[in-house]
Every structure is written in structure tokens, then in C-alpha cells.
């Protein structure tokens, strides 16, 4: 599994994005584990994305959006 990037961890943009992903997930009543499973992303990595620890790739953002049942642009609305 990837380790949090010391260069990017805590970056305000990543923290905001992660918070948006978490808010959408919680509003839909989904667990981190279920979203990670559907998206094919490791659960620990997914948790790190929600905490803004990773500079997540666009392809992984698309997988997360599909697993949450939203569009990619919806991840950036909150």
C-alpha cells in the first residue's frame, strides 16, 4: 500500500476533496469498506484519501465517483 505523501499530506485542496468524498459517502449511508470494495481501491488507501493524505490519481477519483453513484464533478462541489 502507498504511504501518505509528506509533500501532499494535509494540503488544503486534498483535505477539502477528501472531506467532500466523505460527506457524500456518509450521506448515502455507505462504509469506507463498501466504497473501497466496489471501487477496487484498498480500504486503508481510501481512508487516507478522505483524510487528504494522498494526491489521488484522476482514475482513482473516477472509480470512487462510480462507487458512490455520483459524477466526477460532484466530488468537487462541497
pTM, rounded to two decimals = 0.88
pLDDT digits (tens, 9 = 90+) for 2-53: 555 566 777 899 999 999 999 999 999 999 999 999 999 999 999 999 999 9
User: Which class is 12-76 in CATH?
Assistant: mainly alpha
Residues 51-78: b if buried by 16+ CB within 10 A, e if exposed:
bbbbebeeebbebbbebbebeeeebeee
How far does Cα 64 stand from its chain's mean position?
6
pLDDT reported for residue 9: 73
Per-residue DSSP letter, 74: G
What's the confidence (pLDDT) of residue 6?
60
At 3 the pLDDT is 58
Segment 46-72 shows an average pLDDT of 96
Amino acid at each position: 500500500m502507498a504511504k501518505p505523501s509528506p509533500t501532499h499530506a494535509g494540503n488544503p485542496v486534498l483535505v477539502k476533496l477528501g472531506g467532500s468524498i466523505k460527506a457524500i459517502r456518509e450521506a448515502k449511508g455507505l462504509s469506507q469498506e463498501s466504497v473501497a470494495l466496489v471501487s477496487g481501491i484498498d480500504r486503508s488507501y481510501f481512508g487516507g484519501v478522505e483524510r487528504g493524505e494522498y494526491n489521488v490519481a484522476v482514475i482513482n477519483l473516477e472509480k470512487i465517483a462510480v462507487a458512490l453513484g455520483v459524477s466526477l464533478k460532484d466530488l468537487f462541489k462541497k
